[in-house]
């Protein structure tokens, strides 16, 4: 007989258990939603300090306006208004490598470098700068991008970056990933020949990694945050629709091109 082990939800006729807790006695009304989301993945309850940083990240990532994913969700809702879940899913499916993956990529990049250091973490900025310089150099040599650098709009600096660093500092959670990320910000121009801002998606990845969350799941938190943002987009699409205009602005300006050309 195959059995299926789990530490998540189980229930009997009288009781519902989740994460080793009694759902109704221990969790409902006592645990915040962000706190629970952290717990569900990390298998430990975050401290209030961790929860504040974690929720600040989710708030930062929730909505960026008319992104491709928001437009895709609204167009899907236009076509299939009977299925809110379909419109939401369509929006989340854009959460891949390019627009929503930076958080995970940056967290994973920093985590790989920090893990290699083992217990010998630098104790000052100069030490972190040396580590960062080497990491950026190797990344460039491998012809890969350093994740978390640059932004199409916030060219002089992403306003989220200093704020999240401040919040992490306030909560005693400005750990090795954030310190390394700051060092990357200080030294990358020596290798890349140009100065780029540390972007918000990147600093979020660094902060999540400092919270000890598994780096393979970081994209998942960006998706959770975006889920709330997409609900806002879909609620607005109901109140003040733009999907039809967005569709027609493409369709009416279609130009036929000979397939041979």
For the segment 158-187, give every residue that binds a copy of itself (CB under 8 A): 159-160, 163-164, 166-167, 170
Query: What is the dihedral angle through the alpha carbons of 59, 64, 68, 71, rounded to the nearest 10 degrees?
Result: 90
Q: Cβ distance 218 to 108 under 8 Å?
A: yes
Q: Which stretch binds a copy of itself (CB under 8 A): 33-41, 105-113, 116-124, 137-145?
A: 33-41
Q: Which of residues 74-93 bind a copy of itself (CB under 8 A)?
A: 75-76, 78-90, 92-93
Q: Please identify, using beta-carbon distances, which residue of 127 and 220 lies nearer to a copy of itself.
A: 220
Does residue number 209 form part of the binding site for a copy of itself (CB under 8 A)? no
Does residue number 256 form part of the binding site for a copy of itself (CB under 8 A)? yes
Computed from CA positions of residues 58, 63, 68, 73, in that sequence, does the dihedral angle turn out positive or negative? positive
3 state DSSP class of 149:
strand
Closest approach, Cβ 154 to a copy of itself, in A, equals 6
CA distances from 26 to 31, 71, 240 (A): 8, 39, 40
Closest approach, Cβ 39 to a copy of itself, in A, equals 8
∠146-149-152 over CA atoms, to 5°? 130
Residue window 38-67: x/- pattern of binding to a copy of itself, with contact defined by CB under 8 A: --xx-xx-------x--xx-xxx-xxxxxx
């Amino acid at each position: 007989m195959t059995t299926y082990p789990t530490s998540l939800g189980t229930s009997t006729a009288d009781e519902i258990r989740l994460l080793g807790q009694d759902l109704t006695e221990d969790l409902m009304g006592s645990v915040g939603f962000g706190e629970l989301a952290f717990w569900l993945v990390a298998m430990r309850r975050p401290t209030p300090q961790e929860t504040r940083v974690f929720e600040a990240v989710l708030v930062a990532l929730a909505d960026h306006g008319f992104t491709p994913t928001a437009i895709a969700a609204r167009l899907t809702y236009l076509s299939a208004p009977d299925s809110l879940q379909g419109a939401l899913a369509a929006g989340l499916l854009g959460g891949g490598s390019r627009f929503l993956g930076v958080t995970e990529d940056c967290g994973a990049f920093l985590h790989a470098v920090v893990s290699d250091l083992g217990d010998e973490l630098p104790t000052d900025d100069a030490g972190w700068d040396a580590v960062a310089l080497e990491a950026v150099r190797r990344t460039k040599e491998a012809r890969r991008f350093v994740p978390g650098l640059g932004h199409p709009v916030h060219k002089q600096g992403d306003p989220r970056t200093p704020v999240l660093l401040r919040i992490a500092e306030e909560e005693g959670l400005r750990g090795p990933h954030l310190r390394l990320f700051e060092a990357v910000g200080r030294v990358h121009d020596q290798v890349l020949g140009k100065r780029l801002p540390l972007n918000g998606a990147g600093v979020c990845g660094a902060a999540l990694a400092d919270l000890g969350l598994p780096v393979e799941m970081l994209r998942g938190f960006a998706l959770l945050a975006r889920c709330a943002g997409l609900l806002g987009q879909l609620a607005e699409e109901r109140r003040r629709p733009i999907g039809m205009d967005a569709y027609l602005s493409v369709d009416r300006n279609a130009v036929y091109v000979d397939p041979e050309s």
